[in-house]
Amino acid sequence: LGIKESTLSQIQEYFSSRPVMRSYSFPLCYYIEALKKAGGDYEALSQEEAGEYLSTLKGTRDYKVEVRKTTLGCLDCNQSAYCDLSFLLPDWASNEEVEVESNLFSIEVKLLEMGWERKDFPMYNKEFRGLVFKDQKLTPKIWQNIKWKLEPLLETRRKERLEEEKRQRRRDRESAICDFYHQIARETMGNPFQHSKVDYIVPKMDEVLALPSIQPLLEEDTETVTNEQWIQVAPDVRYIVTKWWRDTLEQLVDSLERDTGARSNEANKGDEGTLDLTPENKTEEAILASIEALGSKLSYATSVFRCGDSYHKKVYWFPHNIIHGLSGHYRFGMSQLLDKIRPLDSVGQRLVRRLLTDLKLDPETARSSEVVFEDPTRKNFLCTRCDESVARYMGFGELIEHYLDHAKRFNDVTEAVRTSPDSRYQPQAVNTELPRIVNDHDWVSRDGLLARQDDNETKEAVLKSQGNFLTGGLTDPLYHMDGSGPQFDLLAEFFDANALFGGTED
């Protein structure tokens, strides 16, 4: 613009058209030239004159706002005779810019009388702007001279607008179909997914839009797709979704069998029926029966999955493994999501089976609903390898994570000692030469109870005993006020370990 930034900040608000021009505004070139001229004039004035100049700009600006409001009000009331705005112009406002705006309003009224809409005005067209932005009064003769030039431009713009509106209506119909489609997907997947965002894991919309029954909905030029129309085509879409969901559950079951080995509870199918997934069973009823059978397979307490990301340490059962993938990971398709949420390996499976046995449940028949509770108050599983004075109650999933984390820490420490640069140990030292490190949470080579499940009465007694233990440690005569002593060391170890394993100081 060739003016100072401080000058621009002073004058710019008086040239902005947003509060006034609701339909369109002056072309950008007019706006830039107006800023240049006003900025140059402002900088050439003294401080006192500059203040008066800004007041004049503000008065002009306020006047234009009122003229625009009045004109639009008259147009809304179909007062088409309201074309000549000269009687409203004060002496100081009779300048070229106001004349241009007055001329524009007059042309707008005449075009609206002819049946054109404001949306038909091609304000982006240079030729159109040249015809309507003139600093001369719109006389009947001038109007006849420009009218025949405006009409083809308006006609072209109207055709463009109608085509664009037609394309937009199609996009709206596609959007309505997409919403219906995702709703069917959530209904097919079940209640846990009612509020999940499933658009990037279900089959692509192109597959749905290519259905022969969907094509008439796209081709019929209507504003949207109604519920009545959707009901007619919903069975075809539901068939696609049910097949996809059946295939997804198949992948989950296959991953369990492949990663953990064939499970002995495969034989327990008395309440599951026969799982027949042959290609001949393509009816929706057969697919739904397969989904039910596969869901039953995934409901075992030993069907445990774990996230592959190091910052997600939780274990999951179906369907919460999928829900975690939807909320915690962005993947392009269900296959990528399932690659991230993998079943526990054979060692982890052995842990789960040991825990179930210790809890007096049959690993071959126990369902996840028997040990996995949503209610946090039902966290009543206690690790029996931890000191009961400081052990915390956990859910079954937390109990599994507790042992897996201990195993990882033990392996990391063992490896750190083996590769220690300490001169007392050779880098390639054999295990017998290393300091003895004991994993008291080892469930593979050590026998003994891993966990127990307490009732509410026992849980309250244990929590009370733990509270007395911690309180008593702080008042013990052996406790040193400088923060040392056996009790303090035990408390520090408890809080450090508790935080490391995902607990809280509470």
Q: Which of 55-64, 264-273, 298-307, 483-492 has the lowest mean pLDDT?
A: 264-273
pLDDT at 214: 92
The tokens describing 133, both together, are 């932005």
The tokens describing 161, both together, are 């607008």
pLDDT at 331: 60
pLDDT at 493: 53
CA distance 154 to 24: 15
Mean pLDDT over residues 274-279, rounded?
A: 46
Between 29 and 442, name the one with better pLDDT: 442
Contact present, 315 and 344 (Cβ < 8 Å)? yes
The mean pLDDT value of the chain amounts to: 77
Per-residue confidence band for 157, with pLDDT thresholds at 50, 70 and 90: very high
CA distance 107 to 100: 11
pLDDT at 89: 40
pLDDT at 134: 77
Centre a 10 Å sphere on the Cβ of residue 106 and count the other Cβ atoms it contains: 19
3-state secondary structure of 461: helix
pLDDT surpasses 60 at 265: no
Q: Which of 184-198, 237-251, 293-307, 332-346 has the lowest mean pLDDT?
A: 332-346
Instruction: Write out the H or E segment, with its range, that includes residue 6.
Output: helix 5-11
Place of tokens 């007055």: 102
Listing DSSP states for 143-159 in one string gives: HHHHHHHHHHHHHHHHH
pLDDT at 272: 46
pLDDT surpasses 70 at 67: no
> How are strands ordered across the β-sheet holding 381-383?
393-394, 381-383, 451-453
pLDDT at 93: 41
pLDDT at 389: 86
CA distance 233 to 215: 10
pLDDT-above-70 percentage for the chain: 72
The tokens describing 354, both together, are 């040991």
Q: Which of 46-60, 230-244, 288-302 has the lowest mean pLDDT?
A: 46-60
Between 169 and 309, name the one with better pLDDT: 169
3-state secondary structure of 341: strand
pLDDT surpasses 90 at 498: no
Q: Mind listing the pLDDT tens digit for each residue in 453-466?
A: 888 888 889 888 88
pLDDT-above-90 percentage for the chain: 16
Per-residue confidence band for 259, with pLDDT thresholds at 50, 70 and 90: low
Q: Which of 15-19, 82-86, 110-114 has the lowest mean pLDDT?
A: 82-86
pLDDT surpasses 90 at 158: yes
pLDDT surpasses 70 at 80: no
Mean pLDDT over residues 292-321, rounded?
A: 85
**Looking at the whole model, is its pTM more than 0.85?**
no
Per-residue confidence band for 484, with pLDDT thresholds at 50, 70 and 90: very low
pLDDT surpasses 80 at 73: no
pLDDT surpasses 80 at 503: no
316 - beta bridge partners? Answer: 305
pLDDT surpasses 70 at 49: yes
Mean pLDDT over residues 325-345, rounded?
A: 76
pLDDT surpasses 70 at 485: no
CA distance 25 to 18: 8
Q: Peptide bond before 319: cis, by omega within 30 degrees of 0? A: yes
pLDDT surpasses 90 at 72: no
pLDDT at 200: 78
Centre a 10 Å sphere on the Cβ of residue 449 and count the other Cβ atoms it contains: 13
Per-residue confidence band for 277, with pLDDT thresholds at 50, 70 and 90: very low
Q: Mind listing the pLDDT tens digit for each residue in 369-411?
A: 888 877 767 788 889 888 888 888 888 888 999 888 888 888 8
Mean pLDDT over residues 353-365, rounded?
A: 90
pLDDT surpasses 80 at 437: no
Between 107 and 378, name the one with better pLDDT: 107
CA distances from 60 to 31, 49, 133, 490 (A): 15, 17, 19, 80
